[in-house]
Amino acid sequence: MDQVIRVIALGVLPTGLWAAGMDHATPYAGFQDRAIKSLSDDDIAELRRGGGWGLALPAELSGLPGPAHLLEMQDEIGLSEDQVARIMVIYDGMKAEAIEAGEKFIAAEAALSEAFAAKDIDPDSLRALLAASAEARAALRFVHLSRHLMTPDVLSEDQIAAYQRLRGYADDPCQAIPEGHDPDMWRRHNGCTK
């Protein structure tokens, strides 16, 4: 027992002691059963439907609205029929390209998983597989981010502000009246209905 205490004090435990009762489950437990180790079934479904997968966050969180969310919130934002039609063109193009790019990314990640599973990998082939995956992911990300660059030209500043407010990125000026301002006048100037 003294030896175990000395080993514990040194911060080192023999392998048998770890296995004899210490829990070492990781957040990855269960992932080993995935066909593509780096992608969940939900990830693959999202990519195959052309979903954003969080790839456009730099644009989204910098005030450049996404076409999918604009279409979802068209009534709250007050989009005209012409604006909806223009955003639909942006969205349709994005979705078609994202599905194609998503399939390439899925294939690249599958190739990486397969190479490791087959233990048929060396540093050179690993570098090539990683480059293919990175290129596919960058192409997919470009599809999504580039469409965020297109939407501001279709919208008014008020519509962009409404989008940001509805998405939770900006305070609602109707609820956050700055100190020293007349509440009624503030609400009137900001188009508040309540």
At 33-68, the pLDDT tens digits run: 899 999 999 999 999 999 999 999 999 999 999 999
Is 61 part of a structural domain of the chain? yes
Is 30 part of a structural domain of the chain? no
What is the percent of the chain where pLDDT is above 70?
A: 77
Is 166 part of a structural domain of the chain? yes
Cβ atoms of 63 and 56 closer than 8 Å: no
Identify the pLDDT of residue 2. 44
Q: DSSP secondary-structure letter at 169?
A: S
- One DSSP character per residue, 92-116 reads HHHHHHHHHHHHHHHHHHHHHHHHH
Please check the confidence at residue 31 and state whether its pLDDT lies above 70: yes
* Residues 174-192, mean pLDDT to the nearest whole number: 67
- Give Cβ neighbours of residue 188 (< 8 Å, ≥ 6 apart): none
* Residues 150-174, mean pLDDT to the nearest whole number: 88
Relative orientation angle of helices 41-48 and 81-117, to the nearest 10 degrees: 140
The CATH code of the domain that includes 81 is 1.20.120
Q: Which two tokens stand for residue 148?
A: 């965020």
- Which of 3-12, 41-50, 185-194 has the least mean pLDDT? 3-12
Distance, CA of 146 to CA of 136 (rounded, Å): 15
Cβ atoms of 105 and 133 closer than 8 Å: yes
Is 4 part of a structural domain of the chain? no
Domain count for the chain, please give it: 1
More confident call, 4 vs 173:
173
For the chain, the average pLDDT equals: 86
Is 31 part of a structural domain of the chain? no
Q: How many beta carbons lie within 10 A of that of residue 98, not counting itself? A: 27
Using DSSP's 3-state secondary structure scheme, residue 72 falls into helix
Enclosing domain of residue 63 = 38-171
Is 92 part of a structural domain of the chain? yes
